[in-house]
Chains A and B, each alone.
Chain A
Amino acid sequence: MERFLPAAQLTALADDLAGSCHVLAPVAHAGSVVFRWYRPGMRLEFSRMASTSPKAATFPQTEPLLVAQRHEEHKQPVIEATLPPQARTVVLGCRPCGARGKEIFGPVFLGVAHDPYFARRREDALFISLVCTRPETTCFCSSVGGGPADPTGSDVLLIPVQGGFVARSVTEAGAAFLQHALFEDVGARGAEADAVVTQAQAAMPPSHDFSSAPAKLLARFDDKEFWEQQSAKCISCGACTYMCPTCYCFNITDDDLGLISRRIRTWDNCMSYTFTLEASGHNPRPTKAHRLKNRVSHKFSYYPSIHNGVIACCGCGRCIKHCPAGVDIRAIVHAAQEYAQ
């Protein structure tokens, strides 16, 4: 199905949706653009890619797993497991790479182990992606299996054309969404949209071949000097991980607040010392070199090795663009691929 959304109706669409479901959208605030739970009055910003990813729609940064409530001191608490309430979520204006992110790590939560939290959110979420017309210097989606108009993980693709967006459904849920009254007849705009997509694909830089990366990275596994050099300027913060649409590691902690205790799951970060800190006090990854090795190798070697070659990276480039030290994950993988013994 193909419909047209006038640019002037975008905010009206978000406002209307916010009345009946959760809307996650890129919102501008004081110079930044981040995905926020949209409320009428917020300013949507589609012209630049948000610093954060739309991952929260399926995998929020904080998720309560159970609540233990003591009604009286010294009495047994009442323990309740919590699942997110069944509620429709619409992600409006993510990029195709962001929508694809959850498809990449989906098998982890919906494979051998079944994660009811991810499953429910995934089932309830509709992804309305905005096709990119021009790659940024940090974009490399087409090198890792995606593309500026890649439909993987999206329900609808919005293609920017004169005066608005041609909206193309990818899934049945997406087609149903296009019945919304604010969408208009597409008229003759289909050809213009095709041209935009063709032009966007042509504008991508030549793809890099990462197929040798799994073996080449593994070959450098014990090369301390290589990893110390590659990680020298890394400051071992978690910005890359927390902005990444495909990072899925989490931590579980108990937050005690008087008579109420909550067991929460939060995003974890492999760049942090505590990530692999064992109860004995031993830490198998004591330095940033060990940690960056894991981050890069997990995405480009270990993950594809056990998941049919799928690279655990969608090429959105956020980790490069927003790294305080300018660490470029592409350059690290290339260095491993080009390494001469």
Chain B
Amino acid sequence: MLQQLKDAITSRLPELDLVLGWEMGFDPFHATPLYIREAADVERLVVGPWAVHNLATYLPGLKGKKVGIVVKGCDSRSVIQLANEGLIRREDVTVFGLCCDGVVSHRKLREKLPADLGFVEEAQWQADVLRARVAGQEVSVRLSDVLADKCIACCYPNALGADVLVGSERTASPQPVACQESFEALSSAEKQAFWQETMARCIRCYACRNACPMCVCRDHCIATSRDPLWLGQENSPAENFMFQMIHVMHLAGRCTECGECERACPVDIPLLLLRRHMNRVTQDLFAYEAGTTVGQTPPLLTFQVEEAGINERGW
């Protein structure tokens, strides 16, 4: 698959300003975004379970350039959604789509290792088994045991709307996400208590916001605006949770569930619990799933006097 992708990028590169992909990062457990500008850069490209980043996050900031982008299924939904909302010009983007086998959750991987991720000495994938040496100990871990939750629930492993599709197409077999089920089963008071405790460790760094491909206000976010000052700057569970609720509401009907918010969080706050919940609500009310249909407008960007899914007049 990698060679096929490299060939496709090499042939399209002359007509593009740059192509977004991944290369290996500071250790054998981390890939990092790669900006391919010249043919030689293509050699550094990697794909696979470490390619966790949704590169669509960079697209709105590259307006005016001819950009190629490598996407997994979930990332491809973000590209479609951004184009549907007019936040990027689809004709300026060349989409290199992957048929994806899933990516790792570094949080889950950490739980399978004898020591912290930072003590990795060597790591190699052999098919879907990771063999690594961590703090002097040999370990092997199956990908299925450390898959990101979004991959377990994935309905779209093959990139949607791609200009070039690479790899052999997979059939989706989405499973329910256990933590979501147990979260939904909590009472309101229990949910409140859960967020009180969890938000106590939020550092308001806004990695969740900036990693989100659909969070496009960026420099002009109401959470950091000074005039007017909408949200208190105090780092308390109440203010932190308020920020998350604003984030969720701004993503209602727009979130493509790529999970970047949760992955980016340096203190492992399970932010997808909120996003998935809101996505279920928009699906129930509007029968809408963000980023799955080219040309579709999200329900909260349109207005209808009577929504089919909302009973306004009946008792």
Report A's interface with B, CB cutoff 8 A. 29-32, 34, 36, 47-49, 51-52, 61-62, 134, 136-139, 229, 232-233, 235-239, 241-243, 251, 253-255, 264, 266-267, 269, 272-274, 277, 317-318, 320-322, 324-328, 331
Segment touching A, from B27-35, B89-97, B137-145: B27-35
Contact across chains for B201 and A62 when beta carbons are under 8 A apart: no
**Nearest-Cβ distance from residue B111 to partner chain A, whole angstroms:** 7
Extra pairs beyond A235-B264, A237-B205, A325-B33 (15, CB < 8 Å): A31-B107, A31-B268, A32-B269, A36-B200, A47-B115, A49-B116, A51-B268, A137-B26, A239-B205, A241-B205, A243-B203, A243-B205, A243-B266, A255-B229, A324-B211
Chain B residues with a Cβ closer than 8 Å to the other chain, count: 54
Q: Mark B178-221, 1 if CB is under 8 A from A, else 0.
A: 00000000000000000001101101111101110000001110
Report A-chain residues with C-beta under 8 Å of the C-beta of B263: 324
Report B-chain residues with C-beta under 8 Å of the C-beta of A235: 57, 207, 210-211, 264
18 contacts between A and B (CB under 8 A): A30-B198, A30-B270, A31-B107, A47-B115, A47-B116, A49-B118, A52-B203, A62-B233, A134-B119, A232-B33, A233-B34, A239-B264, A253-B229, A255-B234, A267-B235, A272-B219, A324-B260, A325-B33
**Nearest-Cβ distance from residue A325 to partner chain B, whole angstroms:** 6
Contact across chains for B235 and A62 when beta carbons are under 8 A apart: yes
Contact across chains for A324 and B264 when beta carbons are under 8 A apart: yes
Contact across chains for B25 and A328 when beta carbons are under 8 A apart: yes
Report A-chain residues with C-beta under 8 Å of the C-beta of B251: none
Contact check: which of B25, B57, B205, B219 meets A273 at CB < 8 Å?
A: B219
Contact across chains for A266 and B233 when beta carbons are under 8 A apart: yes
Contact across chains for A326 and B26 when beta carbons are under 8 A apart: yes
List B258-272 residues whose CB lies under 8 Å from chain A. Answer: 260, 263-264, 266-270
Report B's interface with A, CB cutoff 8 A. 25-27, 30-35, 53, 57-58, 107, 110-111, 115-120, 135, 197-198, 200-201, 203-207, 209-211, 218-220, 224-226, 229, 232-236, 260, 263-264, 266-270
Contact across chains for A48 and B116 when beta carbons are under 8 A apart: yes
Report A-chain residues with C-beta under 8 Å of the C-beta of B229: 253-255
Contact across chains for A253 and B266 when beta carbons are under 8 A apart: no
Report B-chain residues with C-beta under 8 Å of the C-beta of A136: 116, 118-119
Contact across chains for A326 and B30 when beta carbons are under 8 A apart: yes
CA distance A244 to B25 in the complex (A): 20
Contact across chains for A321 and B118 when beta carbons are under 8 A apart: yes
**Nearest-Cβ distance from residue B150 to partner chain A, whole angstroms:** 15
CA distance A272 to B205 in the complex (A): 10
CA distance A243 to B265 in the complex (A): 12
Give the top 3 A-B pairs by smallest Cβ distance, nearest first. A136-B118, A326-B32, A273-B219
Contact across chains for A239 and B266 when beta carbons are under 8 A apart: yes
Contact across chains for A30 and B268 when beta carbons are under 8 A apart: yes
Asked if A326 meets B31 with Cβ closer than 8 Å, knowing A51-B267, A134-B119, A255-B234, the reply is yes
**Nearest-Cβ distance from residue B217 to partner chain A, whole angstroms:** 10
Contact across chains for B268 and A32 when beta carbons are under 8 A apart: yes
Report A-chain residues with C-beta under 8 Å of the C-beta of B210: 235-237, 324
CA distance A243 to B211 in the complex (A): 17
